[in-house]
Structure 1
């Protein structure tokens, strides 16, 4: 069994979810882990956060998300680094998820990938007060500083 994510990971996920909920919940369904993202009978992933436009609500079932969401967010943990930056990057591109974010907790930044010719291209890295936006999801607008300022220092 894999270890649970660090508490900091969960706090960051919650803060991003709150920001997305505040600006996007009227148009998007926002789900957080644990949730099954069922891309095919043999390809099931568990992203940290997922956005699905309400017009595409039909891809959500009691079992999980059965289809391609609009955005997938992964928050790096020491145990997930390779899986999130290599394995999931390839799989999410293969299944044509339009946008993929990787949140690097150590560097307090968000890497934004968009699909270009069936591959992800890193189009931006957001740090500090730079406003995170998306051409695919226009309601998104927050900064990593807004997130990280709410995360307390925790003892080891």
Structure 2
């Protein structure tokens, strides 16, 4: 079977995970949104990567006995026509059956997106609706422009904004009670101060 290019696949509808998994590797990252192949934004800013690394470190330090924590690039296969690559995912140890070499087959327990000006609308609207539809119990949107964390919890088939964390407030999660850090802790522990990254 000949591998198809992005240009060839983007003309097909719906694009399935099998088609996506067998496409030609062109060095770019893609997601499937309701059967449509979408090219992801350019490489994240350095502050994005620093924050992601610090969140990963904190979550592994406090939650690794209860959760598997993984970061992008990693396929989260929500359905045959809905494949996402969140910045970070947490899967409870009781649900490791959804993890395979290909990625995560189903909804993680918690998903984190670190937003940017390029992804703000997609993270706050499109992805929020998708993650709710497929049953992700908790969704965090981290904003590096003001160092806040929006916490959404699933109620039925929609998310409710339950808190917005900033400063020294300790982030608490019903989905992952092992979580215990503040946004200020994250920022203080970054290896490069954010004001040097302008």
TM-score (norm 2): 0.76
In our comparison, the structure showing a higher alpha carbon Rg is 2
Matches within 5 A, 1:51-90: 51-90=90-129
Distance 1:52 1:155 in 2: 32
Distance 2:89 2:175 in 1: 14
State yes or no: 1:97 paired with 2:136.
Answer: yes
Let me know the Cα RMSD of the aligned residues.
1.0
Distance 1:84 1:109 in 2: 14
Distance 1:92 1:116 in 2: 12
- Give the drift of 1:77: 1.2
How many residue pairs end up in the alignment? 156
Residue in 1 aligned with 2:180?
141
Give structure 1 stretches of 5+ with no counterpart.
Answer: none
Q: Which runs of 4+ in 1 moved over 6 A?
A: none
Is this contact kept in 1: 2:46–2:197, CA < 8 A?
no
User: Any idea what SS the aligned residue of 2:112 has?
Assistant: strand
Distance 1:115 1:47 in 2: 17
* RCO comparison, higher one (Cα < 8 Å, 6+): 1
TM-score (norm 1): 0.96
Distance 2:197 2:90 in 1: 32
Distance 1:119 1:125 in 2: 17
